[in-house]
């Protein structure tokens, strides 16, 4: 049986792989290592069943978000101790701190609403997730 930390790391690895396949990052090992180094400093499990692992690297051209919806949840050492069911991996260039903070703030604000988190957990397609997030972060 896998330990909870292994499950967390596996989720991050899968999301990094998806970002690589989509052409968002060039080196998935470097990006994964950067995300996990950040995770060791302080958990990215912000509470409410949400984690926002992230990294910024010089070879990223623009920001991206990869999403995982985990109906059963994964232990993430979250601030509130709750299992994480929604994971938003953020990546982007290391020289655009202001844009990064705006993206993180907008996403966090959207995810504070319980209704939004419930809708995301019930989403049936990647397109539905994108639509929900686009509408919520546009406000």
Query: What does the CA dihedral 70, 14, 55, 48 come to, rounded to 10 degrees?
Result: 10
* CB-based burial label for 12 (10 Å; 0-12, 13-18, 19+): buried
Radius of gyration of the chain (CA): 14
The residue from 10, 20, 54, 131 that is catalytic is 54
Parallel, antiparallel, or unpaired: how do β-strands 54-57 and 84-93 relate? parallel
Q: Tell me, yes or no, if 54 is annotated catalytic.
A: yes
DSSP 92: E
Round to whole Å and give the CA distance between 77 and 42: 9
Task: Give the catalytic positions in this structure.
Answer: 54
């Amino acid at each position: 049986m896998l330990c909870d930390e292994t499950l967390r790391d596996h989720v991050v690895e899968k999301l990094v792989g998806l970002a690589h396949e989509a052409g968002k990052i060039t080196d998935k090992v470097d990006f994964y290592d950067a995300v996990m180094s950040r995770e060791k400093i302080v958990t990215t499990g912000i509470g409410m069943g949400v984690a926002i692992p992230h990294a910024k690297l010089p070879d990223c051209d623009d920001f991206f978000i990869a999403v995982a919806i985990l109906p059963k949840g994964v232990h993430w050492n979250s601030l509130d101790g709750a299992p994480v069911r929604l994971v938003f991996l953020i990546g982007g260039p290391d020289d655009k701190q202001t844009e990064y903070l705006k993206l993180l703030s907008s996403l966090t604000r959207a995810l504070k609403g319980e209704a939004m988190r419930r809708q995301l957990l019930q989403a049936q397609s990647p397109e539905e997730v994108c639509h929900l997030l686009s509408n919520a972060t546009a406000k």
